Structure 1
Amino acid sequence: MKRIGFVGTGVMGASMALNLLRAGYEVLIYTRTKAKARKLLQEGAVWQEDIKQLAETVDVVITMVGYPSDVEELYLGEYGILATLKPGKLAIDMTTSSPMLAKKIANEAKEADIDVLDAPVSGGDVGAKNGSLTIMVGGDEAAFNKAKPLFERLGQNVILQGAAGSGQHTKMVNQIAIASNMIGVTEAIVYAEAAGLNPERVLASISFGAAQSWSLSNLAPRVFKNDFTPGFFIKHFIKDMRIALDEANKMAIDLPGLKLAEKMYQTLADQGLSEKGTQALINYYSRQI
């Protein structure tokens, strides 16, 4: 699998595609806004005018887009990936999307003799740049083994979780854990500042104790600098939390911590902060940008 089609070159997708380019793969790219792909084109990626043109000639398609509706259009549209990718080829959706949609795509792909994996990631912009993402995979083991060399160029923690949809369910577990953790990290910062402590010194102490977490180590320093540049957009986090809440409702489980986090982030979105990073939660506590 030397020829890769990559769809979606946003905050994370661009770095992921670049890592594949630098690993020696031929990368064909498509995104709705060509300007976002300028750096990749300068690095040697080949622009494609539409999905059909891209999917017809590659060994594998990787998608990293925004919403389940985008995924559905890409895969199940009249001229989408499943309609144009050749039998025996592989498609990997790395978008955080709906588990039910992942299963639907996998079922239709099977009819077309195409292997499909749902493989959402965690690690933010830093993990995407460094090739150190956690990749949570759902699908057939044979397809997973076929894709593993690609995954190893993108991440360091790559685990097959089970059948189609299992990768997306695992990502929901990840987002549920992050949602409440971000509230804890943010309130810890608010408390430290109100107590007149030096936030950096506090972070140096608690980052190595029982309070340590990825969000504390990677996002708290950005908060101290009033840096709300998105490693992960608030609007996409809200989308993820709503998927998780919908799935929880289907399983008849109540997740009050997740409900609270979704409400808090929606408040920020209503204030015009939907395209800030998730660390902008500090603004819920009346800090000004």
Structure 2
Amino acid sequence: MTETVGFIGLGIMGRPMALNLVKAGYDLVVHARRPESMAPLAEAGARTAASPAAVARDAAIVFTMVSDTSDVEEVILGPEGVIQGVRPDAVVVDMSTISPSSTRMMAERLRAAGAAMLDAPVSGGEAGAKAGTLSIMVGGEPADFARVRPLFEAMGGNVVHVGPSGAGQVCKSCNQIVVGATIAGVSEAVLLAQASGVDPRKVREALLGGFAGSRILEVHGLRMIEGDYTPGFKSRLHRKDMRIVLESAQELGISLTAAAMVSEWLDLLVEHGLGEEDSAAIFEVIRGAVGET
């Protein structure tokens, strides 16, 4: 734990992830756009920096966790970005969910500066970030993965090196397709039960014991039945991820019909002011409570 570690982006996911690194004993320097976001980390013993470049000058391993592709490009390649201060032996680890092609471009730029990059998006939501049980999907060189793995294990319970640069982001896109399509399937099952006059709670209970059982059915099925969409993962963020999925599909010349439908439903939620609700609210679109007016 002798290397200084940097963490940039201290939002709903980044803050608890960074706190878990502090709890694990790492010397941490952090940066966020809003000074108030850094306060909990400073109170926990981390140092603060004025810019991503300042973090990079101080840290051998630099994590980024921000919202979208453009945000990551600004944090890493911008005028005050990581690349402006990155050490030749550093590893930059982006844990955001962004475009695989953009990830590969940034990895090349960092490689030219003498540094390495891993893409390591996560699944598990805020609860997983707080508990340190995230699933972490990693793309990049095996040696760089081995160097960073102990830090990943302070933040996640399932850490998999998927393949070369961009493979982690591809894996996250696959995750979001499965999550979105499964939400749709659970939504239709709940709707069918309700329309048939059968208690959907009992249906959910029965299905959880069989082959249809899943975390989506367990967690989001209950959200649908109770109409409680307090976010674990916001619809607008799921919409952003599905946009990345469909952009990747277009680049590859393939058709992803289920993903396209899920994306349309998420568009409707955001357009009707429900972007801050959990994406389980897709159920409300499927049952006809949200739609064109």
TM range (shorter): over 0.9
Q: Does 1:242 align with 2:246?
A: no
Q: What is the aligned partner in structure 1 of residue 155 from structure 2?
A: 154
Hey, what's the Cα distance between the residues in 2 that align with 1:98 and 1:24?
A: 32
Q: What is the aligned partner in structure 1 of residue 45 from structure 2?
A: 44
Hey, what's the Cα distance between the residues in 1 that align with 2:232 and 2:41?
A: 19
Q: What SS class does the counterpart of residue 24 from structure 1 fall into? A: coil
Hey, what's the Cα distance between the residues in 1 that align with 2:162 and 2:218?
A: 27
**5+ residue gaps in structure 2?**
none
Q: Deviations over 1:163-207 (max 9, x none)?
A: 111111111111111121111112222233333444433322212
Matches within 5 A, 1:253-272: 253-272=254-273
Hey, what's the Cα distance between the residues in 2 that align with 1:28 and 1:223?
A: 41
CA contact (8 A) 2:11 2:37 kept: yes
Hey, what's the Cα distance between the residues in 2 that align with 1:46 and 1:220?
A: 42
Hey, what's the Cα distance between the residues in 1 that align with 2:284 and 2:197?
A: 19
Q: How many residues align?
A: 288
Q: What is the aligned partner in structure 1 of residue 193 from structure 2?
A: 192
Q: Does 1:280 align with 2:260?
A: no
Q: Does 1:102 align with 2:94?
A: no
Q: What is the aligned partner in structure 1 of residue 127 from structure 2?
A: 126
CA contact (8 A) 2:53 2:83 kept: no
Report deviation, 1:287: 4.9
CA contact (8 A) 1:11 1:231 kept: no
Q: What is the aligned partner in structure 2 of residue 83 from structure 1?
A: 84
2:234 maps to amino acid:
F
Q: Deviations over 1:95-145 (max 9, x none)?
A: 011111111111111111111100111112222122111111111111000
1:176 maps to amino acid:
I
Q: What is the aligned partner in structure 1 of residue 4 from structure 2?
A: 3
Hey, what's the Cα distance between the residues in 1 that align with 2:216 and 2:257?
A: 21
Report deviation, 1:39: 3.0
2:252 maps to amino acid:
M
CA contact (8 A) 1:18 1:40 kept: yes
Q: Does 1:56 align with 2:48?
A: no
Report deviation, 1:41: 3.1
CA contact (8 A) 2:183 2:220 kept: no
Give the RMSD, CA atoms, in angstroms: 1.8
Q: Deviations over 1:191-227 (max 9, x none)?
A: 3333344443332221221112221222223334433
Report deviation, 1:270: 0.2
Hey, what's the Cα distance between the residues in 2 that align with 1:134 and 1:64?
A: 15
> Using a 3 Å threshold, how does the CA distance of structure 1 residues 227 and 29 change in structure 2: closer, same or farther?
farther
CA contact (8 A) 1:109 1:116 kept: yes
After the TM superposition, list the runs of 4 or more consecutive aligned residues in structure 1 that deviate by more than 4 angstroms: none
Hey, what's the Cα distance between the residues in 2 that align with 1:275 and 1:132?
A: 24
Query: What is the TM-score of this pair, normalised by structure 2?
Result: 0.92
Q: What SS class does the counterpart of residue 58 from structure 2 fall into? A: coil
CA contact (8 A) 2:269 2:282 kept: yes
Q: What SS class does the counterpart of residue 61 from structure 1 fall into? A: strand
Hey, what's the Cα distance between the residues in 2 that align with 1:27 and 1:123?
A: 23
Q: What SS class does the counterpart of residue 254 from structure 2 fall into? A: coil
> Using a 3 Å threshold, how does the CA distance of structure 1 residues 68 and 22 change in structure 2: closer, same or farther?
same
Hey, what's the Cα distance between the residues in 1 that align with 2:227 and 2:38?
A: 28
Q: Does 1:92 align with 2:80?
A: no
Q: Which moved more, 1:89-98 or 1:10-19?
A: 10-19
> Using a 3 Å threshold, how does the CA distance of structure 1 residues 182 and 52 change in structure 2: closer, same or farther?
same
Q: What SS class does the counterpart of residue 56 from structure 1 fall into? A: helix
